[in-house]
């Protein structure tokens, strides 16, 4: 698995494909309304549907991110998502 879970933290490593979505969705639903930490330090790329789940969760609950040193496109998308405007800046 490219996503591992411990308490309220999900750690993403390598490339995240769509087959990870059901487990990730279950993690988010189980943790709601708690704050979750999403660790992308070792993530190379991520499927758009996973990003959609993160943005949907962030609309109602608190998400904190950890990113690696190399800037990735998904980091720009997640940081630019403004829940009050419901679009990416």
Domain boundaries, the chain: 3-88
Query: pTM of the entire structure?
Result: 0.86
The CATH class of the 3-88 domain is alpha beta
Q: Can you give the pLDDT at residue 45?
A: 95
pLDDT tens digit string along 51-83? 999 988 988 899 999 999 999 999 988 888 766
Determine how many CB atoms are found less than 10 A away from the CB of residue 73. Answer: 10
């Amino acid at each position: 698995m490219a996503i591992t879970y411990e308490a309220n933290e999900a750690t993403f490593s390598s490339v995240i494909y769509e087959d990870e979505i059901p487990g990730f969705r279950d993690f988010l639903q189980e943790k709601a309304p708690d704050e979750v930490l999403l660790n992308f330090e070792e993530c190379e790329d991520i499927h758009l549907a996973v990003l959609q789940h993160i943005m949907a969760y962030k609309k109602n609950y608190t998400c904190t991110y950890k990113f690696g040193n190399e800037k990735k496109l998904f980091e720009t998308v997640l940081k630019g998502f403004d829940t009050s405007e419901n679009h990416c800046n």
